Structure 1
Amino acid sequence: MAMIARRSKSSVHLLHEVLFSDHPLPCSYTQRQTYVDVYMKWKKDSFFDSIDTIHRSVQLRPLIALKNCIVSSSPNDYCIPISVISKKGLELGIPIKVARFLRLYPSVFEEFTGPNYNLPWFKLTQRAIELDREEREVYLKFKDDIILRLKKLILMSGREQMLPLKIIQGLQWYLGIPDEFLRKPEDNLDGCFGVVEMEDGLKGLAVNVDGSERFLSVMQMNAMRRGAYSGVEGEAIEFPLYPSKGLRLKRKIADWFDEFQKFPYVSPYEDYSGLNPNSDIAEKRVVGVLHELLSLFVEHAAERKKLLCLRKYLGLPQKVHKAFERYPHIFNLSLMNKTCTAILKEAYCDRGAIEEHPLAKVRKRYIKLMKESEGILKRKRFNNGPIDQGDSKIKDLDCTDDEDKKFTT
């Protein structure tokens, strides 16, 4: 009995020491895990799916490439025989036969019978010629702005400050850079650019800037205007959020994102070599790079797969494409045109936040002109029957027995 009493007394004494000791137990610490594996079911947003300037670019891009080909081949008459371009479909990004593509847009390309051998010729309509002149005026007037966007893209590469020309050409459409800028960079770009040899025998475009010159991202400039950023390195800048209708974050994810917003913001133009790639700060930098990248583009959007080639050069992780899914209040993913397009929400939800690209208005006018072709084709079908093959008396060098792959306009 005495033994039991002593054991009980010692147990009580031990419990008293545990409860009132100055040294906390390991289990008494609050354990926090900052990373949350975000998985959200994809939700369609009809607003972003209805933006013509983004989703019509699939047709607009080869159309402008064809227009440029006609202008360069015949700068005075703006006309060309089909034989000159009939085999350039792959080069110009045209998924169907060139002649058929031209006939899809009679408001842009006018067909007529050539002087020899009864071959089809195509020329630009008067409105297309006027738009081409307007486009070239934009390139001249806003040359410095377009060059600055290219410079910023290259400066995102960190210490290297260079990118392969092949990659820049792949993003040329999104940046709104004319062909001659990259064809002869030494003649069209300013003195801070230079063509260099890179590893694997690639030619690259490098930028040499003054070390004292500091480039600010869109996030930093907007935060300064709001008075939420003083320019000191390591400050936290919160990303503006634009939730889609009916899209709500789970409580656990929302709490994690609130903490994520408080982490320091690392500018895309700062050296990132010292960052731990597995840290939350590094992930916030990745989101900042994607935000800045899309803000430089004409439509503030791009096919997601087109951005994957930048991983190695911008210090992005292998699964960078997942960032668009983890932050649905910042980016929208659209599955229109059988591809995945990443869209920067801020550009369309807050018009004053991001400066419009100088080329944006011209492309809108091109799209408006393209749409007029639909009405022209409908009227011709109603009056004359099928017109897809054009005048039956005109030879079509593209004509084969195989059916064309349908090109949806």
Structure 2
Amino acid sequence: MFQWQRLLLSAAKTTHPKVPLLKALLNPYDPFPKAQVFSSLFASHFSTSFLVTKIPKKFRKKRKKKESPRFKLVQTQPNVIPHFESILRRDAHYRFLMKTKDFLLKQPQQVLLLDEAGKMHQLLGFPRGRKVVKFIQHHPLIFEVYRHSDNKMWLGFSEFMERLILEEQKIMDEMEMDRVNVVRKLLMMSVNKRMLLSKIYHNRHLFGIREDFRDWVGKFPQYFKVVFEDDGKRILELVSWDPSLAVSALEREFMVDEDKVKKAFKFGVKHGKALELDEHDERKLNLLMTLPLVSPYSDGSKLDLWTVEAEKYRVGVVHEFLSLTLEKRAYIHNIVEFKEEFSLTKHTYQMLLKQPRTFYLAGTEMNWCVFLKDAYGQDGILIDKDPQVVFNEKLYRYADMEELESTTSNH
């Protein structure tokens, strides 16, 4: 007798309403269709309702949500360098100050209707839904709100801030030729020695370039030429190549401290285990790949995209780009704007992460900032400060003060 028949036989001895069906299954001569018996029997008596088909919520394992790139930090412990991260927090703290200052300077009378200011959260750098007056009150020495003769409230600069603006204008006049050379070097690094005028204007604060830049370049026809494309866009072109400017910061540093530059980058060589290289030999092999570096003033567009030479070129371009900035650092949106001109790829983030000796990436994965580490001291302070940087730091100090000290006001 089959095992299933024994089970059914034992079930048939019980006084269950399905006993006739069980007997029918045991009787081989019963003409009753066995398939129907099985279906009727197991549909009701042998129910699977007792099986747990879904794990209760309280017993389920909680899946860790994937952290958003908007909040996920680039660096993790123990690689975090606090003084670089604090600079980004400072940027956020003074965003309203710098963006509102920039906007007011472009207005005819350097004033703005307060009702209009409350609607310009993006242009003035304050969070949407917040009241602009609260942010104005954070910087009482810089901004003033006053009632005009039209009985409307207006936002403008304080008298003290107007004196600071004149001081800044003097700095820009004194640094004029330095800024000219920065723009020339940017054009010399670009693929066709030309770029959109608007791109340089959008990043003018990065290089200390003045607000009237688009008209200012017309003062130097020996260096620049502005041409119009068919779509009306203005292009800034380099008039003449200057070999004395086509020397990168890395090349100048190599002449002073060759060993330091040798250690600045690492372009690893993939090799098989069969070579059995020890640490010293592997370092020597990597050094052979690191030098010579590829000048950022060479034509990188002619290099094969995924070669070591192409990566050396792109690393050199970013290094030189940062060395031209006021604070030796730049955000991702600053770098990406020049992607085509400098033959950069979408893998710039990963490329820079592989060079931790020279670059430090701070902030979040969505809005990271890259620093030239050697430009800063151990205390996180720039070693060589541009006059514009010195002015900005002074402005920050005054922005956080509620009133002028007696010595300052007398001065």
| 1:55–1:204 CA distance, 2 compared to 1 (3 A) | farther
Aligned residue number for residue 195 of structure 1: 226
Q: Aligned residue for 1:161?
A: 193
TM-score if structure 1 supplies the norm length? 0.65
Does structure 1 residue 331 correspond to structure 2 residue 384? no
Going from structure 1 to structure 2, the CA distance change for 1:316 and 1:147 (only over 3 Å counts) comes to same
Residue from 144, 149, 153 that aligns with 2:177: 144
* 1:165-180 correspondence to structure 2 within 5 Å: 165-180=197-212
Shift in alpha-carbon separation, 1:67–1:318, aligned structure 2, 3 A? closer
Question: What letter corresponds to residue 57 of structure 1 in structure 2?
Answer: D
Task: Give the alignment partner of residue 84 of structure 2, picking from 35, 40, 48.
Answer: 48
For 1:308, give the aligned amino acid. Answer: V
- 1:319-345 CA-to-partner distances (Å, cap 9, x unmatched) read 112122111121111127983211111
Residue of structure 2 equivalent to 1:238: 262
Determine which of 96, 115, 131 is the counterpart of 2:164: 131
RMSD of aligned alpha carbons? 3.8
Q: Say whether 1:217 aligns with 2:241.
A: no
Q: Which residue of 2 aligns with 1:11?
A: none
Shift of 1:284: 1.6
8 Å CA contact 2:225–2:236 kept in 1: the answer is yes
Take 1:257 and 1:101, find their aligned partners in 2: how far apart are those partners?
Answer: 56
Shift, 1:143, TM fit: 0.5
CA contact (8 A) 2:138 2:400 kept: no
Partner residue in 1 for 2:368: 340
Report matched runs for 1:7-18 at 5 Å: none
Cα distance, 1:162 vs structure 2: 0.8
What secondary structure does 1:90 align onto? helix
Q: Measure how far apart 1:148 and its partner are.
A: 1.2
Offset at 1:309?
2.6
Match of 1:296 in 2: 324
Counterpart in the other structure of 1:407: none
Question: CA separation in 2, counterparts of 1:276 and 1:293?
Answer: 22
Structure 1 runs not aligned, ≥5 long: 1-38, 230-235, 242-250, 376-409
Aligned to 1:6: none
CA contact (8 A) 1:138 1:359 kept: yes
What SS class does the counterpart of residue 312 from structure 1 fall into? Answer: coil
Within a 5 Å distance, the mapping from 1:9-408 to structure 2 comes to 43-51=79-87, 54-60=88-94, 62-71=96-105, 73=107, 80-83=112-115, 85-96=117-128, 98-117=132-151, 119-158=152-191, 160-182=192-214, 184-197=215-228, 202-210=233-241, 213-226=244-257, 228=258, 237-238=261-262, 240=264, 255=283, 258-259=286-287, 262-335=290-363, 339-349=367-377, 355-372=384-401
1:167 is matched by which residue type in structure 2? K
Provide the TM-score with structure 2 as the length reference.
0.65
Q: Which residue identity does 1:157 align to in structure 2?
A: S
**Superposed displacement of residue 314, structure 1:** 0.5
Partner Cα distance (1:339, 1:212) in 2: 36
Q: Contact conserved, 2:100 with 2:123, CA < 8 A, in 1?
A: no
Take 1:321 and 1:207, find their aligned partners in 2: how far apart are those partners? 29
CA distance in 1, matches of 2:106, 2:388: 20
- Per the TM alignment, residue 47 of structure 1 is displaced from its structure 2 partner at its CA by 2.3
Report how far residue 63 of structure 1 moved: 2.4
* 1:150 Cα deviation from its structure 2 partner: 1.7
Cα separation, 2, equivalents of 1:200 and 1:102: 40
CA distance in 2, matches of 1:107, 1:293: 35
